[in-house]
Structure 1
Amino acid sequence: MTVIELHDAYIMQDVNTVLQKVTFALEKGEFAYLVGRTGSGKSSLLKTLYADLPLPAGTGSVVGFALPREASSNDKVPYLRRKLGIIFQDFQLLFDRSVADNLLFVLNATGWKGKARKQQRISEVLMRVGLASVAGKMPHQLSGGEQQRVVIARALLNEPLLLLADEPTGNLDPDVSDSIMKLFVEINNAGTAVLMATHNYQLIEQYPHRVLKCEQGQLIDSAVTPFVLS
């Protein structure tokens, strides 16, 4: 199954084209890195894939949903996002409620029913990321690495086919980054596709996978055109 498919896609930020004629596919269970300098289009590409930005030209589908051509024009966007896990560098946790309530908020928003079923799912994902004991804690009581694990747990709640991660280790020290990377590898090995934007070339060398590079308005795919990271 193909979880991302873009053909001659134009990636826009406001009125500016940041990437043009983007063509690539990502298969179920595949892992790829997204690299490029700040401002090269990485975040805009990810936002287009989870339909935060429209796709004005070309064609694109993610987990079987056609990407919308206009902002807020597609009533299927919530269904698309239920099939995705989205992981942000700045966590975007709700700091006025506990870890469990952060996760419960997402389950309620995505239509889960039954208190016991929701509590069980929260326990499952926290155990999956090695945080079985933190459900009752507030986010500010956790380290940066623990907060990122909560964000990953949140992304796993709906058993996504695809994880989109925007610089998930960008604010973490090297040891913590390595432990987070190992968690992504475990999740990927269990069958979830991962597209991870990163500046951390050391991680890419340590955990080699396909690399997509945003450069001068183009997307270069190491599976098609091998290149040296620099």
Structure 2
Amino acid sequence: MNFSSSPVVALRDVAIYQDVNTILSNVNFDITKGEFVYLIGRTGSGKSSLLKTLYADLPLLTGSASVAEFNLSKLPRRQVPYLRRKVGIIFQDFQLLFDRTVAENLTFVLKATGWKDKSKVKQRISEVLMRVGLDSAASKMPHQLSGGEQQRIVIARSLLNEPVILFADEPTGNLDPMVADGIMKLFEEINNSGTAILMATHNYEIINRYPKRVLKCEHGKVLDSIVEQFSMTNGF
């Protein structure tokens, strides 16, 4: 697939740190508009730290990188919320506010990102809930939903500001295989509509069922399946 526009993510000679330790070095890759890429590697190999660097939860200290046209190496803290409006972040542990309804969870995000018109807020919430197949869940509390439904709400939350890319950290890690398959089908629908996805996963079955480009964190490097061949055994 060829895209003429500039990459959604571009890394050049980047190092990724955990505390003071360099965990990945000489990282170079692009993700173009509408691409779907898996990020794999053993626990502790740097996957989550790489994702956190891309959405500016960890600082970029070495190399250069851009995400959604934001230069991470020169990004002031006050600009981070603007970057976060252009990307969607999906966590394995959901990070929903359990004392608020689904609609209140989504309203909280919209207000935090500058939405003020109540009718537009209500309309946008309805749109994203419909997109994930949970338009009847707005008034429910998170604890009234199954794990798979909670993950769909998290995906809806990530779509509120129409991001150019979703960063998903083990989004099927806590879900049984049938539910995980439904979540993957939802990701494919979102990706087919033009949103790029970078998804960290340990789920070998999903990678087999939905083959995509793969980035692998291994021995302090990030290997790219479109550049070189590497082993894809279960457990990575």
TM-score by length of 1: 0.97
The share of aligned pairs that are identical, in percent, is 69
Alpha-carbon distance in structure 2 between the residues aligned to 1:213 and 1:55: 20
What per-residue deviation string (whole Å, max 9, x for no partner) do you get for residues 67-86 of structure 1? 1468xx43211110000000
Alpha-carbon distance in structure 2 between the residues aligned to 1:83 and 1:150: 18
Alpha-carbon distance in structure 2 between the residues aligned to 1:220 and 1:6: 13
- Correspondence for 2:56 among 51, 58, 69: 51
Q: Give how far 1:47 is off.
A: 0.1
Indicate the SS of the match to 2:215: strand
C-alpha contact (below 8 Å) 1:68/1:74 kept by paired residues: no
- Note the aligned Cα RMSD (angstroms): 0.9
Q: Give yes or no for the alignment of 1:214 onto 2:197.
A: no
What's 1:204 paired with? 207
Q: Give yes or no for the alignment of 1:27 onto 2:32.
A: yes
What's 1:146 paired with? 149
Indicate the SS of the match to 1:55: coil
Indicate the SS of the match to 2:17: strand
Alpha-carbon distance in structure 1 between the residues aligned to 2:20 and 2:74: 14
Letter in 1 for 2:191: N
Q: Give yes or no for the alignment of 1:78 onto 2:86.
A: no
Q: Give how far 1:167 is off.
A: 0.1
C-alpha contact (below 8 Å) 1:56/1:69 kept by paired residues: no
Letter in 1 for 2:9: I
Alpha-carbon distance in structure 2 between the residues aligned to 1:74 and 1:146: 33
What's 2:99 paired with? 96
C-alpha contact (below 8 Å) 1:51/1:68 kept by paired residues: no
Letter in 1 for 2:159: L
- Correspondence for 1:3 among 8, 30, 42: 8
Alpha-carbon distance in structure 1 between the residues aligned to 2:134 and 2:231: 37
Letter in 2 for 1:75: R
Q: Give how far 1:50 is off.
A: 0.2
C-alpha contact (below 8 Å) 2:13/2:64 kept by paired residues: yes
Alpha-carbon distance in structure 2 between the residues aligned to 1:205 and 1:42: 20
TM-score by length of 2: 0.95
Matches within 5 A, 1:128-167: 128-167=131-170
C-alpha contact (below 8 Å) 1:27/1:193 kept by paired residues: yes
C-alpha contact (below 8 Å) 1:10/1:21 kept by paired residues: yes
C-alpha contact (below 8 Å) 1:10/1:58 kept by paired residues: yes
C-alpha contact (below 8 Å) 2:63/2:73 kept by paired residues: no
What stretches of structure 1 move > 2 A for 4+ residues in a row? none
